Every structure is written in C-alpha cells, then in structure tokens.
Amino acid sequence: MIGVISKESEKETVREFFELFKVPWEFYTEDRYYSVVISTLEALRGVDSTFVVIYNSKKIKFDIENGVNITSLPESSVQLKYRGYQFPIYGNISSFDTSINTVTRLEASTGQVVGIEINKDDGKIIRIGFDLFQEINFLLTSGQSVNFAHIPTLDMHISILREWILEFGLPLVEIPPIPAGYNFSCCLTHDIDFAGIRMHKFDLTILGFLYRASFDSLLHALKGKISWTKLYENWKAVLLLPSVYAGLAKDFWMQFNSYTEVEEDFPSTFFIIPFKNHAGISNGNSKHARRAARYDVSDVREEIQDLLSKGCEIGVHGIDAWHDTENGRKEFERIHEAIETSEIGIRMHWLYFDDESPKFLEDAGFFYDSSVGYNDAIGYRGGTTQVYRPIGSKKLLELQLNVQDTALFFPDRMALSEEEAWPLIDTLLDNAERYGGVLTINWHDRSLAPERLWGNFYIKILENLKKSKVWIDKAFQVVRWFDKRRSVLFEEVCFLEDSVKLHIVSKNDGDVPDLVLRIYLPKTGKVIDTNFSSLKEQHVDTHSTNFINAEIPI
C-alpha cells in the first residue's frame, strides 16, 4: 500500500494521478505501516515506512536536518533526463549539491542533479526537487506546450515512480491501461465539417478549393511535394465540379462510405455538426464567420443511419457547448433525436475549450469530450496516453485527440510532407506500445478527397495498426473501458509467501475487453498478467459490480 502525504489543495489531483497509476494507495494515516510513502509537505516526522519519496521544489526541514544544499533553477522550462528519455518540468524546480553521500536519481539535461537518494539505516529516501502533483495538475489543466507535445510526460512520471518502487525490492499490483489481449487501444474519428461540396456555392470554401486544387497543386508538384498523380486527381476534380453540381457526377466530398471501406471491420466515430450556418462564440467572445458549417445533422440523416448499421458511433461536433451549458444541451438533444441514444460524446469544432468547458459539457449531459488536442501539433496535450477526468469534473471523461491530419499537413500549421510526417506517427505508435493507453486519430471528411488526397497516408496508419496488438473501437467503447478501469477498488492486497491474496471490486461490463491484473515481483524479475476472466469462478455479480476474491500463486 502506498501512503500519500499532500497539501489539501493537491488532493483532487492526487486522486486523479492514482486513477492513472492504478495501484493500491490511500492518503497517509498515522499509526499504520506503508510499504511506500510519497510526500509533498515540508515536514516529515514519524512516518512508518522504509521507502519514502519526497517531492518539493523548496528547501524543507528534511534538507536542513540531513545537510542537503538546494538551489532554485531558472523558471524557464527545464528538461530532465532519465535512462535515455527526456521530459519537461513546467513548474518550480531545484537542484541539489551531491557532495554529501547521496546517489543521483534524476538530472536536468543541463547537468544539474534534481533528484537524490539518501540511504538510511532503516530504509531509503528519494528527494526530488520539483512538485509532482503541481506538475500533474498543470498537465491536466493548462496542458503541454507544442514544443513537448510528443512526450507523454505524465506517463513518464508514473513510469519513473514505478521503477523506483520495484528497484527498492517491493512487489506491486497494478491495473495497467491496456485491455486484456492487447498492447494499447485506438480510436479512429472523423470531424465532419463539410458533408459535400454541393452544400457550397460560389463562396470562400469553393474559391479556396479551386485555388489549392489547380495553381497550388501545380506549384507543389513542381517542387516535388506531391506526386503528379495527385496533381492529375486535383485537376480532374476541378473539371468535374460543374457535373457534381448538376448531379451528374459523385460528390467527392461525401466520404462516409469511403471511410467505412478503408477501415473495414474497425468501427469509427463521426462527429456531426448540430446546427448549420451558425458560427457560435469564438475564443474572446467574438464570432468567426468561417466557423459556420453549411450543413447539419438534418442533411445527413440517411448517412447517419447507414453508419449506425455498420457499428459506427455518432458524436456531436459542438459549436457553443464549450462555453455554455444551455447551448450544450441543445446540441446534445439535436444529435440525440437522430441517433436515439443518450450516451453521447463531443468534440468541439476548431477544438475550442477552456478551464470551465468540462463543467459545461458535463452539465449538458455528455459522457466524454475529445477536444483536448492541438491544431498545430500532434501528441499529448494532457501529457498522458490515457483517458482522464478533468480536474473539477465529476463524471465527464477526456479522450485526448493525438493525431489530426490538418495539423500535420496544412501550410499554416506543421506543413509537413507525408515523408516528414511519418517519423512523428512512428513515435506515437512506439509510445502506445510502451505506455499503453489510447491513440486517438482524427481524419476529416475532406481528407480522402481532392484537393487534400491524404487517403494513402491514412491507409498506411491503418496498415501499421493492423501489425500491432491494438484494440480498435469507437470512442464511446474505449472511454467506457477506461471508466471500467477507474471503477476498480483494491479492497485487499496481501502478498503471502507463495501467493497474492486479492479482494478487488470493479464494474461488470462485458461489452468491453477485460482488465489486466499485473503483479510485479521485483526480486525475481517475474511479471504475472492475469486476465480477470480467468478468475471467473471467483466472480460474484452484485448490482452490476464484480467482486473478485482470489489467491493467485506466484
């Protein structure tokens, strides 16, 4: 059991941290022994544990009593390095003088020691010069800067803490963020911003299309940025445009069927605009006319029913829900009428979001949000591969957006070629294999069509996913799995000589994959993965909850 000593203001963040690091823990209680104690307070007396980790950026009593010299580092973002990996620290940070008998545990990329280990007669103390839970709070509220978008910083904090516990020789029980039988999860999603070129007459959207498909495509072909085949496809689309308007040729911006064909048996999520010709309120309480869509849910009812029949999910591509509960309910009801389910997720159009958005979306009735991401980068805005609950929320869960086609390829964003973009995708796939969690991809409705023609790149992503042990499902199902994991309570975990005695409580949700129970035995280097379903004879279902009483031999 891990005992946590924290400031009162940190307690909500502590709870969320241990939903992501799903191990037995509780807030520290006096007169009880803990195998591990984590503290962020200045004073540390009478703690009953042989292994203590102290996170604090200030000079505290412990430092004075143990002769530890501490120096504050400049406030600019400091990168730390740990066993070949680097990650940023966003808050205050201090370094330590290593002249006393200590072991270096963490270093800044500039060489300063920001983590030391002090061996005592009765155990070990690791002293870290930053504030862990303030870092976690920053990641889950403000989010990472674009410069560090590709680093799952929060997951690295978890990984490092886990390694320290195991290296001390302590066993550990964890529910990792991986569905049973897989290495990670993936959501394929599509923001439907246009739903057909016929919706647009001689407006800025069409003028932009004509310019990019003709002159801009020629320029890119001459520079070698696109193939001559793509140039041909774009010019062909320009010539066919009158026939499309006349109904004599297929509307090449209607790509619903194309997505279900290339995704084959993988169900995906389509976010649909609830109200047409409505720009809504933009950041700064202004209005941006270009944000208004020329279609809404009423124009694609047949397509919606077809997608539902194929196992896909329909969510809300919200306009004003991010800043107003009443408008959020209207957008919720608009989609609810079309799909007849109240379990609905949302992603805001243009990814509008602020500190109060989780409360507005939660009060409007949404099960999850998927707006936390970047318009000009790919990666982990919240610093984690996992679904999390925004600080201040009670029910709403956040499915971060990791990869967005327009972020990769738009000229005013990352402006990458497909060749330049692929190493970034590879990095995120590698992180998914290493840390688990979920990779959420957004490929827009126009992106398979002229003038973008990003379909081959998307197909390459799908082909690489097929080579991995990945659970690909619609967003609602993946969020539901994480909700099941969050429901786990460790009522009892007792390591005996040759077994582990467990009493664990969790939701009984057979529509999503089982959880994995991972037992770490650091002294032998042995890891046991036990699927909950293999303990079926010990399951007792009561009020949609599983009670697991088991003794697992080790």
Q: Which residue has the higher pLDDT, 528 or 302?
A: 302
Average pLDDT over the chain, rounded to an integer: 91
What pLDDT, on a 0 to 100 scale, did the predictor assign at position 507? 84
Query: 441-453 pLDDT, tens per residue?
Result: 999 999 999 999 9
Rg of the chain taking only CA atoms, in angstroms? 26
Q: Inform me whether the pLDDT recorded for 132 exceeds 80.
A: yes
Q: Inform me whether the pLDDT recorded for 243 exceeds 90.
A: yes
Query: 303-317 pLDDT, tens per residue?
Result: 999 999 999 999 999
**Is residue 478 classed as helix, strand or coil in its secondary structure?**
helix
Q: Inform me whether the pLDDT recorded for 25 exceeds 90.
A: yes
What pLDDT, on a 0 to 100 scale, did the predictor assign at position 543? 29
Paired residues of 403 in beta bridges:
441
Which residues have CB under 8 Å from 511's CB, separation 6+?
477, 480
536: confidence class by pLDDT, cuts 50, 70, 90: very low
Q: How many CA atoms lie within 13 A of 179 on its CB side?
A: 24
What pLDDT, on a 0 to 100 scale, did the predictor assign at position 535? 44
Tell me how crowded residue 182 is: count the other CB atoms within 10 A of its CB: 16
Paired residues of 120 in beta bridges:
123
Angstrom distance (rounded) from CA 29 to CA 47: 9
Q: What is the mean pLDDT of residues 351-374?
A: 97
Residue 160 tokens read as 């490092």
Angstrom distance (rounded) from CA 59 to CA 46: 20
- Among residues 365, 363, 359, which one has the least CA distance to residue 389? 359
What's the one-letter identity of residue 514? D
CA-based angle 260:332:311, to the nearest 5?
A: 25
- Among residues 196, 212, 185, which one has the least CA distance to residue 399? 185
Query: 48-71 pLDDT, tens per residue?
Result: 888 999 999 999 998 998 889 999
Q: Which residue has the higher pLDDT, 517 or 98?
A: 517
Q: What is the mean pLDDT of residues 202-228?
A: 93
Three-state secondary structure of 124-152: EEEEECECHHHHHHHHHHCCCCHHHCCCC
Angstrom distance (rounded) from CA 362 to CA 552: 40
Query: 93-131 pLDDT, tens per residue?
Result: 999 987 776 788 889 888 899 999 998 878 899 999 999
Burial 259-292 (b: 16+ CB within 10 A, else e): bbebbeebbbbbbbbbbeeebbbeeeeeeeeebb
Q: Chain centroid to CA 533: how far?
A: 26
Query: 153-210 pLDDT, tens per residue?
Result: 999 999 999 999 988 988 888 999 999 999 999 999 999 999 999 999 889 999 999 9
86: confidence class by pLDDT, cuts 50, 70, 90: very high
